[in-house]
């Protein structure tokens, strides 16, 4: 049973395409001149071009086209919600046809080049300029790589003992098997000129004024470290955990099957993290997993595809229920009381109808919040995150920011990569003036 559970965690959602399958799929692309899929991609990858290169039996060239815009294209091929981005915009996407499998073709190309171990870029001559990057997640890595390409020396300050950010700590294990997150980081750093300092927390181990004194520019890409509170009556009993912490523990465990996931699990939330936590609980042997969301199913941040994945794995979706009380038995959670909601008039309201979902484990996936505001003296905030302009510049002329920590961030890996790239180009122009 244990071996079966471990195997279920290491089986991919989508096995990689073979060369033949990639060739057949690439032939479905119309190679649109004014391709809507490009516009739908946050990083602006020339999708028709890289698919044409695959069709011409040049997957390495296709990978270079992808990496030119998205150096983390391998991970994005695995975790991007392509069904709501490029593939949704595909002109083949209709009632009669399925869209071109752009994400799987992107993975085929990037894996082909990454498997050679060769970086398609060389670092320019040393510029003599130095940049500090806070956070080794997608935004920080993207920014650091682009700066290194231009010859700047980059030092990344990462609060955790490993790089990768949510790619390493916050994404379902079955989406990124074979330690891919770390292999991709190694590939990105192989350009040279980038040093990573671990266990360095902004505001404790290192502070912003210090970085501004030591470096010519600073990029903030630390993401969101805090979690939203459940805000229900009573103390929090044992058995109630943050879903991000659960996924991190699973990703870092030497033997994930040894984790106690509970037998009857309630997951509260409606985003990708909620889906990941629910599916992984089932894969690890939980008998019953119920995902409960306070609004309707069409309002869930998780895509219809992700919802279907959860249901395929036996997760029960219950919508229009909001938690009002945690129930405990001798200090251990034994249930959650919910109230049915109605959002017909646009505002969420309780109906007075209540019920208890019995459980021995609760996973909270109700969103994260920015927790580094106190460490950012002199940097203006907006909506409790860092305020930036279209180039990632903050109110401090020496500081840029991007990714989940900025106001208006989309909380997507691909969007964080784009933010890091845009900020790096702005920093380069500033350092070259």
Same-domain pairing of 152 and 76: no
- Least confident among 5-9, 183-187, 359-363, 364-368: 5-9
pLDDT recorded at residue 171:
86
Query: Which tokens is 422 given?
Result: 């845009």
Domain that holds residue 221: 130-225+370-432
* Cβ neighbours for 245, distance < 8 A, ≥ 6 positions apart: none
Query: Is residue 408 assigned to a domain?
Result: yes
Same-domain pairing of 163 and 189: yes
Query: Which tokens is 242 given?
Result: 């943050």
Residue 432 to residues 2, 110, 296, 376, 388: CA-CA distances in angstroms?
Answer: 57, 31, 51, 26, 21
Residues 139, 160: Cα–Cα separation, whole Å: 16
**φ, ψ dihedrals at 343, nearest 5°:** -120, 25
SS3 (DSSP) at 155:
strand
pLDDT recorded at residue 9:
56
Same-domain pairing of 285 and 349: yes
pTM over 0.85: yes
Query: Is residue 1 assigned to a domain?
Result: no
Same-domain pairing of 203 and 288: no
- Quick check: 133 pLDDT over 60? yes
The residue among 114, 141, 160 that closes a domain is 114
Report the phi/psi class of residue 236: left, alpha or beta, with left for phi > 0 and alpha for psi in -120 to 50: beta
* Buried/exposed 240-271: b ≥16 CB within 10 Å, e otherwise: bbbbbebbbebbeeeebbeeebbebbbbbbbb
DSSP codes of every residue in 80-91: S-GGGTHHHH-T
Same-domain pairing of 173 and 286: no
Mean pLDDT taken over the chain: 92
Burial of 347 by CB count in 10 Å (0-12 exposed, 13-18 middle, 19+ buried)? exposed
Same-domain pairing of 141 and 54: no
pLDDT recorded at residue 1:
45
Query: Is residue 138 assigned to a domain?
Result: yes
Same-domain pairing of 247 and 347: yes
Domain count, the chain: 3
The residue among 342, 367, 392 that closes a domain is 367
Same-domain pairing of 342 and 306: yes
Same-domain pairing of 318 and 244: yes
> What single DSSP character describes residue 343?
-
The arithmetic mean of pLDDT across residues 275-294, rounded, is 95
């Amino acid at each position: 049973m244990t071996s079966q559970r471990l195997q279920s965690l290491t089986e991919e959602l989508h096995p990689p395409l073979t060369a033949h399958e990639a060739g057949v799929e690439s032939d479905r692309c119309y190679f649109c001149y004014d391709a809507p899929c490009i516009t739908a991609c946050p990083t602006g990858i020339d999708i028709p071009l890289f698919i044409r290169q695959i069709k011409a039996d040049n997957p390495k060239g296709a990978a270079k086209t992808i990496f030119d815009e998205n150096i983390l294209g391998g991970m994005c091929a695995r975790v991007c919600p392509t069904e709501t981005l490029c593939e949704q915009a595909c002109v083949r996407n209709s009632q009669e046809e399925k869209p071109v499998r752009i994400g799987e073709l992107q993975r085929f190309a990037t894996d082909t080049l990454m498997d050679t171990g060769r970086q398609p870029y060389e670092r320019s001559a040393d510029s003599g300029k130095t940049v500090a990057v806070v956070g080794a997640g997608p935004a920080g890595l993207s920014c650091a790589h682009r700066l290194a390409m231009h010859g700047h020396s980059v030092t990344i300050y990462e609060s955790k003992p490993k790089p990768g950010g949510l790619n390493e700590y916050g994404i379902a294990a079955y989406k990124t098997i074979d330690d891919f997150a770390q292999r991709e980081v190694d590939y990105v750093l192989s350009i040279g000129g980038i040093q990573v300092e671990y266990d360095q927390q902004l505001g404790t181990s290192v502070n912003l004024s210090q970085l501004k004194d030591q470096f010519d520019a600073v990029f903030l890409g630390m993401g969101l470290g805090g979690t939203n509170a459940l805000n229900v009556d009573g103390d929090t009993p044992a058995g109630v955990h943050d879903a991000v912490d659960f996924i991190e523990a699973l990703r870092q465990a030497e033997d994930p099957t040894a984790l106690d996931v509970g037998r009857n699990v309630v997951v509260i939330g409606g985003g990708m993290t909620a889906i990941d936590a629910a599916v992984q609980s089932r894969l690890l042997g939980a008998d019953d997993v119920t995902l409960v969301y306070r609004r309707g199913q069409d309002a869930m941040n998780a895509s219809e595809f992700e919802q279907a994945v959860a249901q395929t794995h036996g997760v029960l979706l219950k919508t229009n229920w909001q938690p009002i009380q945690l129930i405990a038995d001798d200090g251990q959670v034994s249930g959650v009381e919910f109230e049915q909601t109605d959002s017909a008039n646009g505002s969420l309201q309780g109906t007075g109808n209540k019920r208890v979902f019995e459980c021995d484990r609760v996973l909270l996936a109700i969103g994260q919040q920015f927790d580094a505001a106190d460490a950012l003296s002199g940097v203006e905030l907006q909506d409790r995150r860092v305020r930036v302009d279209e180039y990632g510049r903050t109110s401090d002329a020496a500081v840029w920011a991007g990714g989940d920590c900025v106001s208006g961030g989309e909380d997507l890996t691909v969007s964080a990569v784009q933010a890091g790239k845009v900020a790096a180009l702005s920093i380069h122009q500033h350092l070259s003036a």
